A and B are shown apart, each in its own frame.
Chain A
Amino acid sequence: MSFIADPVNFIANWLTTVLTGWGASASLIQIILFVIGAGLLSLGPLLLTILLIWVERKIGGRFQDRLGPNRLGPWGIIQPIADMLKIFTKELITPTGADKVPYNLAPILAAGSVIAVWAVIPLASTVYGVNINIGAVYILAFGALGELGFIMAGLGSNNKFALLGGFRVVANLLSYEVPMILILLVPVMFSGSLGMNDIALSQTVWNVFLAPLAAIIFFITLIAENARAPFDLIEADSEIVAGFNVEYSGLKFGFFYVADFLHSVTAALVFSTLFLGGWRGPGAETYPILGFIYLVIKAAIIYFAILHIRFSIPRFRIDQMMSFNWKFLTPLSMMVLVTTALLNKLVPGDLTLVRVAVMWAANLVLWVAADQIVKRVVKKQAVPEVAQPRPLARPPQVGTNDILGG
């Protein structure tokens, strides 16, 4: 095993030999390697966030026809480091009447739950935190813990806006979990395992080709679960100031900020693993580093798509968001799940091309049917216009002899 092909295991093996030479026992070496691995796996995403903040601001700037950060360093690349140093020096303010323990625990839960997800994502064929046989459910469980962090923030801040943000967290995240769980069963069904590495390993044909509709629904629910625009109602600045994190300052706010930015890249990694074959690609099994590069490329494309949607689509109204989930996504994902399950059993696995063709046809039929039904319903339930909008935003008395205005 050479260093170039598989650097992580090369270093791990080298460290094992060195420690054995020093006379450490096998179990101690195991513990040391676990601690180093866990440390790196949780530090890596945090450091990656510094780059991600720059990437997101720069791309966002381009989408909105401005330059983005451009003062510090080449292309403004040092800007997030300066911002980070500034946030370290800020005062940590606790509002009067805040519920201290939930208030302080919330940022830790929010950031920690995202980093915990990285433990089960296979970064290459040989490099992953743990290959537990329930990786997919583990991701959902830690998503739920992150939700709890947001709720505790909204609850403990003693602020009405924060509380409203907390309500919206439950409404948004809990309801989009339903189609997400349903759709998560599709890749699980194809691979016959809940382990993330097994799912990546089983994708000789990428799942996105076998279940395109499921992939689209999963992508939408991922954006909604991360509370990214157009589903960012929980921190809608124009309605509830900043939602659940309005009272946070300094490093505690920084934790939420990190969680937010890390969420989208973690979502991209999860999506790539579940539907785009993860680290799979030509030569990835013999040279694990290639697999890592493939995964990064796939995740980067998905990440760019998430950013593209974030900067292009305006925010949903809350009733639109809820009815989109409960009246469209959830029934559709149930149909997709049942159809895919039936066809998966009916068409044998070795006829790859037939399988892909049948799956595409079924998905297309489902999509057209859903589209037609939604069109009919929308036409039937047209929102009545209550009043004609006034041409100018001014009181009616202006310019008259009325004592109220003029």
Chain B
Amino acid sequence: MTAVKLIFLMTAVVILGSAVAVVSARKIIHAALWLVLTLLGVAVMFALLESSFFAVVQVLVYIGAISILIIFAVMLSRSSFVDEGSQTHRRWWIAAIGLLVIFVAWVAVLSLWPQWSVTSTPLPATATDLATLGKQLVDPNAYLLPFELSSILLVTALVGAIFTAMERKGDQP
């Protein structure tokens, strides 16, 4: 086993473990912190794939901005959102069986796929060139439309947030 494989397995365990912890943590603030660990693991995955730009952007955007905003929103709310009582449904085993079937089916389908057994080769140095990425984002033949659509979505969210928070004239203080 190579060192990269070992790091990959360790990271995978951390990502999956903390992802489970996100949904099973009793305090929502703990869930948010576990989410940070999950996203950090994904950043390590990007670094393992030798895509250092995406690794750093993952940390900057998902941990530096989004997770901090989630934590901030939780901190601002008065209730601490502690989950009481049982966390499992009475018939949880039905869901477990269903999941197992889907998982086995997925593995079966994927193993029939010829790309499954192809070993990946390292990308050439030009493939990680940021200028290419930037040009692709504004190229009409490449990703211009999805890029612009996602920015419109963000602007819509921003306008919505401002509209919700805005004080109107007739409002009670």
Q: How far is the CA of A133 from the CA of B53 in the complex (A)?
A: 8
CA of A152 to CA of B67 in the docked complex: distance in angstroms? 12
Binds A, one of B6-14, B58-66, B89-97, B140-148: B58-66
Residues of A within 8 A of B76 (CB): 167
Give chain A's interface secondary structure class.
helix
Contacts of B60 in A (CB 8 A): 137, 140-141, 144
User: Is B75 at the interface (CB under 8 A from chain A)?
Assistant: yes
Is B56 close to A, CB under 8 A? Answer: yes
Q: A138 contacts the other chain (Cβ, under 8 Å)? A: yes
**A354: interface (CB < 8 Å):** no
- Please judge, given known A-B contacts A137-B56, A145-B59, whether A194 and B130 are in contact too, CB under 8 Å: yes
The answer to the question of A151 belonging to the interface, with a C-beta cut-off of 8 Å to chain B, is yes
Q: Which residues of B contact A143 (CB under 8 A)?
A: 64
B68 within 8 A of A: yes
Name the CB-closest residue of B to A102.
B33
* The residue from A99, A134, A147, A154 contacting B64, defined by CB atoms under 8 A apart: A147
- A151 CA to B36 CA in the complex, in Å? 13
B128: chain A residues within 8 A (beta carbon):
133
In the complex, whether B23 has a CB less than 8 A from a CB of chain A is no
Given contacts A133-B130, A166-B75, contact A151 B59 (CB under 8 A): no
The yes or no answer to A123 lying at the interface (CB within 8 A) is no
Instruction: Specify which of B36, B53, B71 is in contact with A137 (CB 8 Å cutoff).
Output: B53
- Asked if B57 is an interface residue, CB under 8 A from chain A, the answer is yes
C-alpha gap A170/B30 in the complex (Å) = 18
Say whether B64 contacts A144, CB under 8 Å: yes
Do the beta carbons of A152 and B33 come within 8 Å of each other?
yes
Interface size on A, residues (CB 8 A): 27
State whether the Cβ of B22 lies closer than 8 Å to any Cβ in chain A. no
Taking CB atoms, residues of chain A closer than 8 Å to B69 are: 170, 174
Q: Which residue of B lies closest to A130 (CB)?
A: B52
Asked if A132 is at the interface (CB within 8 A of a chain B CB), the reply is yes
A153 part of interface (Cβ distance < 8 Å)? no
Q: Residues of B contacting A140 with CB < 8 Å?
A: 60, 64
B residues 111-167 with Cβ under 8 Å of A? 128, 130
Given A148-B36, A155-B71, A163-B75: A132 and B52 interface contact (C-beta under 8 Å): yes
B27-47 interface with A by 8 A CB criterion = 29-30, 33, 36
Q: Which of A296-348 contact B (CB under 8 A)?
A: none
Q: With A and B bound together, what is the CA distance between A167 and B52 in angstroms? A: 31
Query: Distance (Å) between the CB of B27 and the closest chain A CB?
Result: 8
| B67 contacts across to A, CB distance below 8 A | 148
How far does the alpha carbon of A102 sit from the alpha carbon of B63 in the complex, in Å?
15
Q: State how many angstroms separate the Cβ of B97 from the closest Cβ of chain A.
A: 34
Residues of chain B contacted by A134 (CB below 8 angstroms) = 52-53, 56, 130
CB within 8 A of B63: which of A145, A154, A174?
A145
A247 within 8 A of B: no
Q: List 5 A-B contacts (CB under 8 A).
A: A133-B52, A140-B60, A144-B65, A167-B72, A167-B76
Residues of A within 8 A of B (CB): 99, 101-102, 132-134, 137-138, 140-145, 147-148, 151-152, 154-155, 163, 166-167, 170, 174, 177, 194
A-B pairs, top 9 by smallest CB distance, nearest first, are A144-B64, A141-B59, A141-B60, A170-B72, A137-B56, A141-B56, A134-B53, A138-B56, A134-B56
Chain B interfacial positions (CB closer than 8 Å to A): 29-30, 33, 36, 52-53, 56-57, 59-60, 63-65, 67-69, 71-72, 75-76, 128, 130
Besides A133-B128, A144-B65, A151-B71, 12 new A-B residue pairs in contact (Cβ under 8 A), listed by A number? A134-B53, A134-B130, A137-B56, A140-B60, A141-B57, A141-B59, A141-B60, A142-B59, A148-B64, A155-B29, A155-B75, A194-B130
